[in-house]
Structure 1
Amino acid sequence: MQMNANYTSLVAVGDSFTEGMSDLRPDGTYRGWADLLAARMAAVSPGFRYANLAVRGKLIGQIVAEQVDVAAAMQPDVITLVGGLNDTLRPKCDMGRVRDLLEEAVERLAPACKQLVLMHSPGRHGPVFQRFRPRMEELFVHIDDLAARHGATVVDLYGSAVLGDQRMWDVDRLHLTAEGHRRVAEAVWQSLGYDPEDDWNAALAATAPPNWAARRVADVRFARQHLVPWIGRRLTGRSSGDGLPAKRPELLPYEDPRT
């Protein structure tokens, strides 16, 4: 273990990506990269404490209003902040406002912890994300600037070819699989100065692509189960996270949920 990797607490801030969708446990709850990271940090730091304030569907304005001050008040060693991507996926998006809100979040969080971690969110290869890539890349340039000015660490998941592989994404095409979350946890673990366990960016083994019929069945399933409800929420101003509490709202000693 490296000497600089001596953290005793973690607070995760964000949306569905940090909540852990779609990494399901057998009991139906979500695990995700932040829980995996906390478990590993707790294994090497007795008394390690963890909070996860993330709620699915949150826009950056909601993250700033509902999570940032709470996280800052906890004064943890590490804070992770991933937000703004939901904004970029909306048909109408004021990128200037998104940048300003993200800057406000970083300005509040950076002084409240030993290490702030920001990310370039992963992007799935395919036509849906292609439309929104310019906004995403504009956001990532701003993140790099904020990190340089505030001493934050940036984990570049967007630049990872393997995390763009369609096999790393759930059937909703918006959230990573369990293997995707495991790799993100490893990437953040390494960015914090811990010794690598494996190469999180290693390519998946080559497999034969699905045939035309299988792709069409998958497209119909995706549209019916995920795309149509998502469009419906956009049109009515609703969010999948409306009314949901933070995943782990208090900074408490970490206990493995399997025990």
Structure 2
Amino acid sequence: MTDNGPLRYVALGDSQTEGCGDGDDVRGLRGWADRLAEHLARDTPELLYANLAVRGRLAGQVRDEQLAPALALEPGLATVVAGVNDLLRPRFDADEVAGHLEAMFAALTAQGARVATVTFPDVARITPLARPIGPRVIALNDRIRQAAARHGVVVAETSHHPVVTDRRLWSPDRLHAGPLGHARIAAAVADALGLPGSDDGWTRPLPVDPRPVSGLRAVGGELRWAGSFLGPWLVRRVRGRSSGDGRRAKRPELLAMPRPAALHPLD
């Protein structure tokens, strides 16, 4: 993607791009952007990679806090994925959120970066209690596509494929992808970018789960999820707190990515 020097890849975003759900804060987070960087390193003579994402950030915060540092790193490739935290706020405005995303698309592409983003899945298929958010997801995805088209941004259409709402791809909190989900996102972005060794394998469904879930078990699972994850999340919102308070980007500077011996984003 560049003829002069190493490829510079910079990831902007929130908790998904930071890697929440794929590892932990003790052992470290991997995540789809790290996995994409690993895939790039396999076929790139020299790759420098920075990840500016911080959990809990709204799209406007990603723009305010991460865009200028990203531009200063002069990326040849950038990924911009944000908006889910906005979707969960009572006062959601799809046009406002998309405006922040488009401003980042415009600035990065104007500087010469190739930019990629994703669309979001129907959260109601992951968490029935989130059904009221469904129309918001559709509205935001439509605006992401429109903004991306205006600036030549590559879109990984994860929203189109049923497998992305298979709960086995998600962490127990249902807000973040699990390791397999992060691997699928990385593979989707690699496929959208047309990277060597990428294909549409990420769209294929998982094997049928042999453990059927009864109605009673499903209700019990929803109640346990609400108590363990939804409740604490709502408490933070009421208190005006964020999971990202006081946190910094895990990889704010461009660092060399070692070339793996053999790796595929689905690993």
Residue 19 to residue 79, structure 1, CA distance change in 2 (3 Å): same
Say whether 1:43 aligns with 2:63. no
> 1:220, CA displacement in angstroms?
3.5
Runs of 5+ in structure 1 lacking a partner? none
Match of 1:200 in 2: 202
Moved more, 137-146 or 109-118: 109-118
Q: Which amino acid aligns with 1:178?
A: P
Residue 221 to residue 30, structure 1, CA distance change in 2 (3 Å): farther
> 1:114, CA displacement in angstroms?
3.2
Q: Which of 210, 214, 225 is the aligned partner of 1:211?
A: 214
> 1:255, CA displacement in angstroms?
4.0
> 1:141, CA displacement in angstroms?
1.1
Q: Which amino acid aligns with 2:46?
A: G
Q: Using the alignment, how far apart are the partners of 1:26 and 1:105 within structure 2?
A: 28
Do 1:33 and 1:182's aligned partners in 2 also have CA atoms closer than 8 Å? yes
Q: Using the alignment, how far apart are the partners of 1:17 and 1:245 within structure 2?
A: 15
> 1:190, CA displacement in angstroms?
1.4
Moved more, 188-197 or 153-162: 188-197
Superposed CA deviations along residues 46-86 of structure 1, whole A, max 9, x for unmatched, are: 32100000111100111011001111221111100011121
Do 1:73 and 1:112's aligned partners in 2 also have CA atoms closer than 8 Å? no
Say whether 1:154 aligns with 2:187. no
> 1:44, CA displacement in angstroms?
1.6
Superposed CA deviations along residues 145-202 of structure 1, whole A, max 9, x for unmatched, are: 1111111101111112101112221110111111111111111111112232660011
- CA RMSD between the two structures: 2.2
Residue 221 to residue 29, structure 1, CA distance change in 2 (3 Å): farther
Aligned positions of 1:128-139 closer than 5 A: 128-139=129-140
Q: Using the alignment, how far apart are the partners of 1:17 and 1:113 within structure 2?
A: 25
Q: Which amino acid aligns with 2:190?
A: W
Runs of 5+ in structure 2 lacking a partner? 261-267
Q: Which amino acid aligns with 1:150?
A: H
Residue 247 to residue 121, structure 1, CA distance change in 2 (3 Å): farther
Moved more, 172-181 or 118-127: 118-127
Match of 2:175 in 1: 174
> 1:223, CA displacement in angstroms?
2.0
> 1:121, CA displacement in angstroms?
2.1
Q: How many residues align?
A: 254
Q: Using the alignment, how far apart are the partners of 1:141 and 1:62 within structure 2?
A: 21
Query: What TM-score do the two structures reach when normalised by structure 2?
Result: 0.87
Superposed CA deviations along residues 14-52 of structure 1, whole A, max 9, x for unmatched, are: 001111110116953211111111011112213210000
Match of 2:192 in 1: 191
Residue 212 to residue 43, structure 1, CA distance change in 2 (3 Å): same
Residue 25 to residue 46, structure 1, CA distance change in 2 (3 Å): farther
Match of 1:143 in 2: 144
Aligned positions of 1:1-259 closer than 5 A: 8-24=7-23, 27-124=26-123, 125=125, 126-194=127-195, 195-196=197-198, 199-207=201-209, 208-255=211-258
Residue 157 to residue 197, structure 1, CA distance change in 2 (3 Å): closer
Q: Using the alignment, how far apart are the partners of 1:58 and 1:25 within structure 2?
A: 18
Query: What TM-score do the two structures reach when normalised by structure 1?
Result: 0.90
Do 2:188 and 2:200's aligned partners in 1 also have CA atoms closer than 8 Å? no
Q: Using the alignment, how far apart are the partners of 2:224 and 2:97 within structure 1?
A: 32
